[in-house]
Structure 1
């Protein structure tokens, strides 16, 4: 009888402890978040674009995050080439870890060269993006973000950008 009761007791106690380990997963106490996005594009006239936008954030509350976002973009075609660097703060509010609302200010430093008219320009431009989107969890504390932003400072005839509307795809780790 001892040979039967002792293994049964060990089996039951092991099962109880393993259930506690599964249900009591440790909470993410690290408040720092990391992420960003990368992109590339091709088009007519040998157009090529490569961009990267790293970000570092801090969870002020479980649903509110603030931080700094950077961006770099290289564009080249038969007609022109440009390099653009941007930096600025961002603020994200998360709704049930499914949707987000975002505000993002960027100050851009732009180097532009038009090959047909032999025109060169070094300029800068400000952008204030407001928008939001959808989030899909892809890991324990990792999310894919799909959104749409609008630059409220965009002006049609004085901006280097062709439109104020900007789709965005990015990742965030640490939420």
Structure 2
């Protein structure tokens, strides 16, 4: 089963993650942030993946943001189909609008069906991603984020994911 989840994990970790912060400019006192990300993947054996990751946050200070992140992913191929839901809190700290440090906890619910062997299973897994990266300003309050996260709860022989390392690319507006 782990081999079938690998493409899903790579798609989610490599997909562009867009975050939109609303009202985060100094002249506006609204501290709520909203955003999300989407992913789409195609591959051999009629592989198809669609994923979405909405988020809502609150700026605790000008440089510290906390909130809730959700994720959903559907994938299918000639050999299997899978649905994965995840939810949990996140915390981002921005350093001089040049670097960021992030912590994300996710609890995943996975529904998997192997079409070749008529096998179905439902699994749960927890992940605590810690990491950070670089932010490049691309507009007034817009930034491109390039980062790397690691799931500190990942265990080689018991995880549905093939690795604990997750690269990410993001876009933030309104910081």
TM-score interval for Structure 1 and Structure 2 normalised by the shorter chain: 0.7 to 0.9
Distance across 2 between alignment mates of 1:64 and 1:129: 17
Give the structure, 1 or 2, with the largest relative contact order (CA under 8 Å, sep 6 or more). Answer: 2
Q: Structure 2 matches for 1:72-151, cutoff 5 A?
A: 72-151=72-151
Cα distance, 1:173 vs structure 2: 3.3
Over the aligned positions, Cα root-mean-square deviation in angstroms equals 1.7
The answer for the alignment partner of 1:37 in structure 2 is 37
Q: Which moved more, 1:151-160 or 1:164-173?
A: 164-173
Tell me the matched-pair count.
151
Cα distance, 1:172 vs structure 2: 3.0
Equivalent pair of 1:131/1:150 in contact (CA under 8 Å): yes
Q: With structure 1 as the length reference, what TM-score do the two structures score? A: 0.79
Q: Structure 2 matches for 1:41-60, cutoff 5 A?
A: 41-60=41-60
Cα distance, 1:53 vs structure 2: 0.8
Could you tell me which runs of 5 or more consecutive residues in structure 2 were left unpaired when the two chains were aligned. Answer: 1-24
| 4+ runs deviating over 4 angstroms | none
Q: Which has the larger radius of gyration?
A: 1
Residues 92-135 of structure 1, C-alpha deviation per residue, up to 9 Å, x if partnerless?
11011121100000001110011111110111110000111122
Could you tell me which runs of 5 or more consecutive residues in structure 1 were left unpaired when the two chains were aligned. Answer: 1-24
Q: With structure 2 as the length reference, what TM-score do the two structures score? A: 0.79
Distance across 2 between alignment mates of 1:74 and 1:101: 29
Cα distance, 1:26 vs structure 2: 6.1
